Structure 1
């Protein structure tokens, strides 16, 4: 079922092609499409990895949670847990070592990145061995270094001004980067690095699906705006 195309103009970051016309469908239709992409004929039965990438504040984690709700046996893993106190955008080897390798061997994941021990962070990254899908979500989830182990890529396109507004509001509410002034300063420092990284990586050119991270006023609750990728 395809509903009428809907025009929603998002102003993406410089260098990222804009999407104008989207299809609006229930989330279940999007997950059915992603399942067909991730489970291509001829692939061995194993845990599938769906990467959800996009700009900070763009709606990635919200979308990932919705996907997990509609994918059987799915687990949401944030790249922030691998990136925590690791070199910026240099943590893909940790994903390969701690997540991909045990899942490929049919084992459960119980992984503590090195920085967790160094900084005495409690807990671990856990994924049961029988997991059907891992939704790996975060900036850099669809990086080139993970392209050979990711089964489907979702790029979340966001309006750059709205993403900044939401991201700064979230950081202020969380309080992890200091007061309002410190949070704003941190956001701009982070975005300088993130924009350069995403411009070099161009993950939208590898996306199987593009999803609108900003929903229009009056949109039907439960629907999602998306189109088949990639963007060139």
Structure 2
């Protein structure tokens, strides 16, 4: 039975990838081809981070994306426990720049200091321009106008909370605050409208 990661990878390779290759004239250098952007969204604890890592592992080994995959985790850009939307929007200029064939930059957030962190550049210095960017995190659907494909992860709240607590310990200080922001993001950009795949990480 296909895993969620293999289903998402197949979506990129068979649907988005084929369209992307068809748009580029024969002989176009890889650096000049359009960057494909995949979004992976879902509520906290749905399994997005693991799914994104697994998808990157698969696609890093496959043509046309071999060695040219960049992973952008929105967790690195949320501006604190009330900054879900601001963090997602901070990544928008990165995707716009990558679409022009340029490097993009976005501020990060230092969760230990509860303060802005260093600016992150994509691709990282010394890395080739990516052919595929995977944007993973709550609110990725807010960037739907930059996405070529979107996978939405569904899980019951009890399962999601248990996962979050196994990873981080007691989540009572932020769970409801974050859930309200998830609700707001869902209202602004309904993932069921944009998602190419709806999955559960436990499938």
TM-score, normalising length: structure 2: 0.74
The structure 1 residue matched to 2:9, chosen from 27, 31, 47, is 31
Q: Post-superposition shift, 1:65?
A: 0.3
After superposition, the CA RMSD in angstroms is 2.7
Q: Which runs of 5+ in 1 are unaligned?
A: 1-23, 173-179, 216-224, 226-232
The structure 1 residue matched to 2:107, chosen from 110, 113, 116, is 113
Cα 1:46–1:126 shift into 2, 3 Å: same
Give the match's secondary structure for 1:57. coil
Give the match's secondary structure for 1:83. coil
Structure 2 distance, partners of 1:199, 1:210, is 17
Q: Post-superposition shift, 1:29?
A: 5.2
Cα 1:184–1:114 shift into 2, 3 Å: closer
Structure with greater Cα Rg: 1
Please say if 1:148 is aligned against 2:145.
yes
Structure 2 distance, partners of 1:54, 1:156, is 5
The structure 2 residue matched to 1:75, chosen from 65, 70, 76, is 70
Give the match's secondary structure for 2:198. strand
**Aligned position for 2:190:** 202
**Aligned position for 2:157:** 160
- Runs of at least 4 residues off by over 6 Å: none
Q: Are the counterparts in 1 of residues 90 and 106 from structure 2 also a CA contact under 8 Å?
A: no
Q: How many residues align?
A: 178
Say which structure is richer in helix: 2
Q: Which runs of 5+ in 2 are unaligned?
A: 25-32, 60-65
